[in-house]
Amino acid sequence: MKASELKEGEAGIIKNIESACIQKDKMIDFGIVNGARIMILKKLAFGDPILIKIRETLVALRKKDLSCVNVEGVDE
């Protein structure tokens, strides 16, 4: 499942980031790495950008960039 498909309040564990993702290096700098827990806090107007919590950091990412992140083990 893509991280962009999670609903507000849902969380999952990052499985991988697709290698074709343009912002991959920047996402790794933010702590978006394999095994990290990601939670969707808010989807803004028209679903873009998306506010996420990764570890103790809040980050707003474009839906397009977040769709490069694959997650598993969705929980609340």
Listed in sequence order, the residues at least 6 apart from 18 whose beta carbon sits closer than 8 Å to its beta carbon are 24, 68, 69, 70
Residue 28 and residue 61 in contact, taking contact as beta carbons nearer than 8 Å = no
Mean pLDDT for 17-44 is 90
Look at the chain and report how many structural domains it folds into.
1
- Report the share of the chain in percent with pLDDT over 90: 70
Question: Which CATH number is 44's domain given?
Answer: 2.30.30.90
Mean pLDDT over each residue of the chain, to the nearest integer: 90
Give, for 29, the enclosing helix (H) or strand (E): helix 24-29
Q: Please give the residue range of the domain that contains residue 32.
A: 3-75
Q: Could you tell me the strand order of the sheet in which 57-61 lies?
A: 57-61, 50-54, 37-43, 11-17, 69-75
- Asked if residue 76 has pLDDT above 60, the reply is no
